Amino acid sequence: MDVKTYEKISTTVEVVKYEGGHMEAMAISRWLGAGSAYIPPTATDPREYVQVPTMFGPKDCKPGHYIVKIGPQDFLVYKPEALDAEYREVKTSDHPLVKHAMDELARFPNEDMDFKQSIVNAIVGFTYYKGHSGSSAEIATHMISALLRGENLLPLTDDPEEWELRSGAQYGMPMDLWQNKRNSKAISEDGGKTYYRVDEKPEGEEDSEGRVPVKIYKSEPHDFKPEIDPEDLKSEVVE
């Protein structure tokens, strides 16, 4: 017997509950876009509903039911119990930073909802730590910003396991190079003892080999152990 393990992919969707009434139906119809309609109650038929253009054809959303947006123009209609069985409501934090982010992102009406939600999720994660002071929040913000840019938090070291050998021809160089695994922008010509960054512009005059000098940094020893905050750690520049 071949037993395998699978993980359900998390899906975030927009959900609207129709409570009933003409004004709310009109607002929902505007959200649904073309192909939707409000069917009001009449003397012969007291029912009212919003007709939703779903991927399975028009469906009626009655008061108390939910409309789920599953694509740019694709919708499904759920009864409350059916929705609860398939989806779990995402609870956002009441933290002021989360509210601020949601309010600011809402001002970009044309941005992709998943893009907005990814930013909100990151801020919700930031607020999970309840012990933030002004200084710790600044440090965390610095760390997050650096990590999102692919930067290292602690200084690079000369540990051979931290550097990957690259063919010099790949960079138009006559010798082989080493690229740092923790920060792909760091390139070394001596196995990781020193390095320069490819995102920094060379300055100065060309040498005899036609190369423009770049700022060279010295790596920390492979057994380096920090004793201060990462925010205060800076690589030493080789003069």
DSSP string, 77-105: EE-HHHHHHH--PPPPP--HHHHHHHHHH
Degrees to nearest 5, angle at CA 12 with 6 and 13:
130
Structure token pair of residue 100: 């601020």
Structure token pair of residue 2: 């071949």
CA distance 140 to 115: 22
CA distance 201 to 216: 12
Tell me the pLDDT band of 214, cut-offs 50, 70 and 90. Answer: confident
Average pLDDT, the chain: 82
Tell me the pLDDT band of 94, cut-offs 50, 70 and 90. Answer: confident
Greatest mean pLDDT among 59-68, 76-85, 171-180 = 59-68
Top pLDDT among 80 and 172 is at 80
Greatest mean pLDDT among 89-93, 117-121, 232-236 = 117-121
Top pLDDT among 92 and 97 is at 97
Greatest mean pLDDT among 116-120, 191-195, 219-223 = 191-195
Cα of first residue to Cα of last residue in the chain, in angstroms, is 64
Q: Is the pLDDT of residue 77 over 60?
A: yes
Q: pTM for the full model?
A: 0.53
Tell me the pLDDT band of 195, cut-offs 50, 70 and 90. Answer: very high
